[in-house]
Structures are given as structure tokens and as C-alpha cells.
Amino acid sequence: MELHTLTLITIVAEPVLEERLTRRLLELGATGYTVMDIRGRGTRGIRTGDIPGQGIRIETLVTDEVAEAILEEATASWFPHYAVVVWASPARVVRGDKYVEG
């Protein structure tokens, strides 16, 4: 089967950021995303909800260019103030053209 090589961007963040992050992902060129509720602990240990230790994990499959834009945005706007972790990993995707905008 034909597979496309794309980048899987994974973001772990404070739940309060969900709307803003997902909105920005779409604006930066992602065609979709998945959000999961998670528990965990990080270096900041910042908990903003009334229930401690909760967070969100957002995953999105994007092209290299979009991935680069997301990483730049994260570095400039998200990391300074919020508990956010972002990483990129290569992914081999079925129907890869679905994830390319335009």
C-alpha cells in the first residue's frame, strides 16, 4: 500500500488552552486534530482547574512546513507562560493527501 510521510505533532498542555491551541493549529494549516484528556505531572506542575493533575494531549498530522510553523509558534507564544510540551515525530500515513490543506 502507498504510504505518505508526514509529521505527527503532539502537544501536551493545560486544559485551559484547548480552544486557543486547536484554533491556531487550523489557522496554521492543519486539517484536523484529536484531543484527549490526560493525567500527569510535569516540571511546572501548574494546575489551573479545580481538579489537579489534568491536562490535554492534542495530536495532528501535518506537512513539514505546517509542523515547522507550529513549532515556531509554540516557542514564541506558548512556552514562555504556559505548561506546554510539543514534539514532532515522523509518521507514515495511509491516504496522506487528506492531511494537506488546499
Q: Write out the residues near other proteins by the rule CB under 8 A.
A: 14, 16, 20, 46-52, 54, 77, 80-82
Nearer to other proteins, 52 or 90 (CB): 52
CA angle (29, 34, 37) in 5-degree steps: 135
> 78, exposed or middle or buried, with CB in 10 Å at 0-12, 13-18, 19+?
buried
State the residue for C-alpha cell 509554540. 74
Choice between 1 and 51, CB closer to other proteins = 51
Least distance to other proteins, CB of residue 81, Å: 3
Q: Which residue number, 5 or 48, has a Cβ lying nearer to other proteins? A: 48
